Structure 1
Amino acid sequence: MLRFLFDEPPREATGCLEETLRLMEEFGSLVSKRIAAGQDADHRLRKYEIWTLGLRSALDELEQSSYAASHYKQKIRLVSVQQMSPEERLNYSRYVYYDKNGFIRVFSLLDKLGTLLNELLDMRTEKVKAHFSYFTVLRNMRERKAHPELTWKLNDVKEKYKEATNRLRKRRNTEIHYMNSEMHDDLIQSHRMYGEEAKLENIEQQAIDLSDGVTLAMESMRLSFQYGCKLMRN
């Protein structure tokens, strides 16, 4: 969708992305067959079908945002906005836009996945917490020792990217509840270096964190839909 911004052809999915999309398609097909066979009296399968389509779009949007952010990041050479030419400042603004879009979408996608898992696995997390996140669902799965074949794989992925996730969560919460995350960085610097020119936030670390966040989301989806396919086949 966004490759045209860089005069590139549309994306060809490979690796984990390709496998995740394939499993989502397989899961959707298995659900559709059950619906066609009259096995959806309570319309739960129809919800799974719609939610899967939504998750596919969300994954595509996240990958595209991350890709665009990485491209605009490569065009940034200077260490402060004040030193930038108008063109580089525009590229920096574009980087901020897509990076911000990316780290917000990491948690949005995971929470959509949590909603699907909560229903698919009958976890009833809403009885523990009315407004729950993916991580609340996963904690509920651990505490109840439910679906261990999936639970511990998802937990291992969560732990692997825990530090990056914590930094992304902090930036997401700042952006949504407090102020623009990049301006928050400027505010911190203004206290530490009062009267000096503020440097750019650590965009190298931000890029690594966003990449890890995308991998966390993608791998969590791959494992979840792999397990979902197994459930539907049985």
Structure 2
Amino acid sequence: MLRSLFHEPRRVDEGHFQKANAAIDRYVDLLRSISSEQRNLQERRYIIWSGSFIRALDELEQSQYAANRYGKLVSHTYVDELNEQERDDYHRHLYFYKNAIIRLFAILDKLGHFMNDRFRLKTEEIKSRFSYFTVLRNMHQHRLYVELEEQLFGLKGRYKEPVERLRNERNMEIHTINADLLDDLLRTAEERQSHEDRMRIDDIAQRLKDLDQACDMTYQAAGFIFLYITKLTESSGRYGHE
């Protein structure tokens, strides 16, 4: 959808993103293979829940793509160097970048709640408001569903630094009231004190690299989770909790 902003053709799914979608589709197809008369409420819930991940991943990938495309149109280092067009592209980059990181952690948390429900992990007994990482820590500490846990914990370790940087930015964006306004006011005051000070643009290349890596982790995690659940479902003959 957003590729039309750049007069480009529709996306061709590939890589970890394509594998995640294929894994979800396979699980949904498996549940739908149960006749509607025999399909129970829990199975219907999982079909709807799984379908929501397809849309969520699509929206994340589109925001990731647009953040990258607009970010690469910004070539200057300081805000006062930007012409009107480049300033607009910079603001569009920020919009899609912030949108992407919010969506990314929302997907991770939804994956955490999905696993908690599907595997009856009872993470809510450890922490009432839990995240994907809380669920993963619960699985790791209690050695639950070891094959999947080791895959997900390995991902967490490999992508720890970029994900942590993005999580800090997400927290600032969501939980800190008027953080951008406060920064602007502070910069304005500093500029009045010294006319030689210039407002530097954040390192766009580095934050896009972090975003791409965190998205890769998220796509891989979704793929691992749904492949594992599909395997359990196929081995049990039903979706039932093993």
Shorter-chain TM band: over 0.9
**Aligned-pair distance for 1:114?**
0.8
| 1:139 and 2:140 correspond | no
Identity percentage over the alignment? 36
Letter in 2 for 1:232: T
Instruction: Check 1:64–1:182 CA distance in 2 against 1; reply closer, same or farther (3 A cut).
Output: farther
Q: Which residue of 2 aligns with 1:55?
A: 53
Query: What residue in structure 2 maps to residue 77 of structure 1?
Result: 75
**Counterparts of 1:147 and 1:186, CA distance in 2:** 48
CA distance in 2, matches of 1:180, 1:52: 35
In the superposition, relative to structure 1, how do residues 146 and 38 fare at CA in structure 2: closer, same or farther (>3 Å)? Answer: same
Q: Aligned pair in 2 of structure 1 residues 226, 184: CA closer, same or farther (>3 Å)? A: farther
**Relative to structure 2, which stretch is displaced further, 181-190 or 99-108?**
181-190
Letter in 1 for 2:63: S
- What is aligned with 2:222? 221
1:102 aligned to 2:103?
A: no
TM-score in terms of structure 2 length = 0.89
**CA deviation string 1:95-152 (max 9, x = no partner):** 0000111111110010111111111111111111111111111111111111001001
Task: Pick closer, same or farther for the CA change 1:48–1:191 going to 2, 3 Å.
Answer: farther
Partner residue of 2:13?
13
Which consecutive residues of structure 1, in runs of 5 or more, have no partner in the other structure?
Answer: none
Aligned to 2:168: 170
Change (3 A) 1:50 1:181: farther
Q: How far has the Cα of 1:208 moved from its partner?
A: 0.7
Which residue in 2 is equivalent to 1:211?
212
Matches of 2:107 and 2:214 in 1, distance apart?
Answer: 11
1:34 CA drift (Å): 3.4
Structure 2: unaligned runs, 5 residues or longer: 236-242
User: Is the Cα–Cα contact under 8 Å of residues 35 and 45 in structure 1 kept in the other structure?
Assistant: no
1:37, CA displacement in angstroms? 5.8
Aligned residue for 1:34, secondary structure, equals coil
- The CA distance in 2 between the partners of 1:152 and 1:222, in whole Å, is 14
Match of 1:112 among 104, 110, 113: 110
SS at 2:74 equivalent:
coil
Residue number in structure 2 paired with 1:232: 233
Quick one: structure 1 residues 179 and 12, their matched pair in 2 at CA, closer, same or farther if it must change by over 3 Å? Answer: same
SS in 1 for 2:34: helix
CA contact (8 A) 2:64 2:211 kept: yes
In 2, Cα distance between equivalents of 1:181 and 1:226: 40
Q: 1:67 aligns with which of 58, 65, 68?
A: 65
Contact 1:185 1:201 in 2 (8 A): no
Q: What is the CA distance between 1:82 and its match in structure 2?
A: 2.0
Distance 1:129 1:78, change over 3 A: same
Q: Which residue of 1 aligns with 2:85?
A: 87
Three-state SS of the structure 1 residue aligned to 2:233 is helix
Q: Specify the alignment match of 2:29 in structure 1.
A: 29
Given that 2:27 and 2:226 are in contact with CA atoms closer than 8 Å, whether structure 1 keeps it comes out as yes
